[in-house]
Amino acid sequence: MAILSKISTMSENQDLASLKIDRGDETARSSMLGVVVGLIVMGAAVGAAAWWYANRTPVVEVRTATAREVRLGQPTTVLNASGYVTARRMATVSSKVTGRIIEILIEEGMKVEEGQLLATLDPSNIEVNLRLAESELVAASTLLIETEVRLHEAELELERTRPLFDRGVVAKAELDRAQANYDSLNARIIQQQDEIHVAESRLSLWEQELSDRQIRAPFAGVVVAKNAQPGEMISPMSAGGSFTRTGIGTIVDMSSLEIEVDVNESYINRVVAGQPVEATLDAYIDWKIPARVIAIIPTADRQRATVKVRIGFDELDPRILPDMGVKVAFHEAGVVPDPAAVAGSAGSSATGLGVAIPAAGLRRDGGRDVVFVVNSDDTVERRAVNVGSQNDTEVIITSGIVSGERIVVEGPADLADGDAVTEVRS
C-alpha cells in the first residue's frame, strides 16, 4: 500500500509540474507585442502628420489697408491750399488833370456802366478858353469868306484885262497888276484855311480839357469805395500833403473775380492748367463752388518758396466778394462715374457712394479686377470688384467691397482664397 501511495504521489507531482508556465516564452511574447503596438502608433502618427501637412492652410504675412467711403461723381483731392478772392479788373478812378471837385455822383455799392459820369471838376477856366477858341474859329471863318469874295472879283478883273491887252487897249503893266492881285488873294485863302484848321484844333484842345473835367467809369462794375467829396482837390499824382486826393473811388468788375492761392513749390507738380478745383469760402463753409485752374504764374517766391496759381470760378455768384478768404481742393483730372450710369454693375449703390483703397490693393486675376479681403478669422477672401477710377495711389471701387473692410495691399503673388494670414505692422 505504501508503494502504491508513493507511486500515486509522484504521478500527481508530474502532472502539476506539467501545468507550470515557462517565464522565458512569456517575456518574448510581451516584447513582440510592444513592438507591434509601437509600430502601429508610429504609423498612425506619421499618417496623421502627412494628412495634416497635405491639408494644412498656409499662414502668410500681409500688409492691409482699410477701405474708406467716398462720394461718387467727385474727383479725388490731390492737394489743398488757401488763398483769397481777387478781381482781375479793379481800378481807383482818378482824373487826368488837377482840379477841384464840384460834384460826386457815386456811392459805395452802386453799379456803374462803362463811360458813366462819376464826378465833375471845376470847369470855369476851361469854359472861358473854350469860348475864346470858338470866337477865334468864327472870326477866321468870316475872314475866309471875305477873301473868297475878293478873289472872285480879282478873277473877273483878270478875265477882262487879258482880252484888252491882246487887242492893245491896255498896257502890259495893267495885266500884270490884275494877275498879281488874283494870285495874292488865292494865297491868302490858303493861309486863312490853315488858320481855320489851327483854330479848330485849338477848340478841340479846350473841348478835351473840358471833357477831362468829367470823370467817367473806365469799365462796368460796382463801386466798392468812395474816397473824395465835393470841394476837395484831386490830382493824378500825389501833390505832397494830405489835402489833395489821388482818386474819387474804387470800381471792381465783378465778372473778373477769381482766386489766387500760393502753392508750396514742393507740391506744384500736382497742379496743371485746366485742373478741376473745389472752392469753399470761409464765409460759407457748406457751399462747394466748382472752379478750374486758369494758369500757374511762371515764377516762384524765393522767400516763401511758393508759386502763385490763378483759379477761375465756373459760375459767379453775388455772394462771392473781393478779398474773401477761400480754401481750395485741387482734384485729379478724372471724375468717378455715377454707379447708376454703369449698366449691369452688380452691387452698385443707388446712394452714389463708393469705397477708396490704395492702388496696390487691386490685382488682376483671370481677366478680372480682384482684391483680397481679410476676414475676422484672419483668412483672406478673393473678391471680384468693379473699378470706377484709379490713379497712381488710389482706386475707387464701385461694387464688390464695403467701407471698413481690410484689404491686402502687400502680400505674396500666389495668395489664394482661404489662405490664413498675419498682418505685418509697419
Tell me, what CATH number does 236's domain have? 2.40.50.100
- The CA-CA-CA angle for residues 208, 209, 215, to 5°, reads 90
* Tally of structural domains, the chain: 4
Q: Specify whether the CB–CB gap between 404 and 356 falls below 8 A.
A: no
Kindly report the number of other CB atoms within 10 A of residue 337's CB atom: 16
Tell me, what CATH number does 322's domain have? 2.40.30.170
Provide the pLDDT for residue 174. Answer: 87
Domain enclosing residue 361, as ranges? 62-72+336-423
Tell me, what CATH number does 382's domain have? 2.40.420.20
Q: Specify whether the CB–CB gap between 228 and 245 falls below 8 A.
A: yes
Domain shared by 234 and 198, yes or no: no
Provide the pLDDT for residue 309. Answer: 96
Domain shared by 348 and 413, yes or no: yes
109: region left, alpha or beta (phi > 0 left; psi from -120 to 50 alpha) = left
Provide the pLDDT for residue 132. Answer: 93
Q: Specify whether the CB–CB gap between 326 and 312 falls below 8 A.
A: no
Please name which of 219, 252, 248, 215 lies closest in space to residue 233, comparing C-alpha atoms: 248
Provide the pLDDT for residue 406. Answer: 87
The H or E element containing residue 373 is: strand 368-374
Please name which of 417, 418, 416, 404 lies closest in space to residue 64, comparing C-alpha atoms: 404
- Can you tell me which residue has the cell 488763398? 83
Domain annotation covers residue 48: no
Domain shared by 101 and 245, yes or no: yes
CA dist 345 and 84 (Å) reads 42
Domain shared by 82 and 230, yes or no: no
- Can you tell me which residue has the cell 459820369? 117
Provide the pLDDT for residue 215. Answer: 93
CA dist 374 and 424 (Å) reads 13
Domain shared by 264 and 117, yes or no: no
Domain shared by 193 and 236, yes or no: no
Provide the pLDDT for residue 240. Answer: 56
Provide the pLDDT for residue 349. Answer: 39
- 172-212 helix and 124-166 helix, angle to the nearest 10 degrees: 160
Provide the pLDDT for residue 113. Answer: 94
Domain shared by 227 and 371, yes or no: no
Kindly report the number of other CB atoms within 10 A of residue 57's CB atom: 11
Per-residue pLDDT of the chain (426 residues; tens, 9 = 90+): 444 454 455 555 555 455 454 555 555 555 666 666 666 777 677 666 555 544 555 555 566 656 666 666 556 778 899 999 999 999 999 988 889 999 999 999 999 999 999 999 999 888 999 999 999 999 999 999 998 998 898 889 888 888 888 888 888 888 889 889 889 989 999 999 999 999 999 999 999 999 999 999 999 999 999 999 999 998 887 655 556 788 899 999 999 999 999 999 988 998 999 999 999 999 999 899 999 999 999 999 999 999 999 999 999 999 999 999 999 999 876 444 444 433 333 333 334 677 888 888 889 888 889 999 988 888 889 999 988 777 667 888 888 888 888 888 888 888 888 888 888 765
Backbone angles phi, psi at 322, to 5 degrees: -60, 145
Provide the pLDDT for residue 65. Answer: 57
Q: Specify whether the CB–CB gap between 109 and 95 falls below 8 A.
A: no
Q: Please give the C-alpha separations between residue 195 and each of 136, 150, 185, 189, 202, in angstroms, as whole numbers.
A: 9, 18, 15, 10, 10
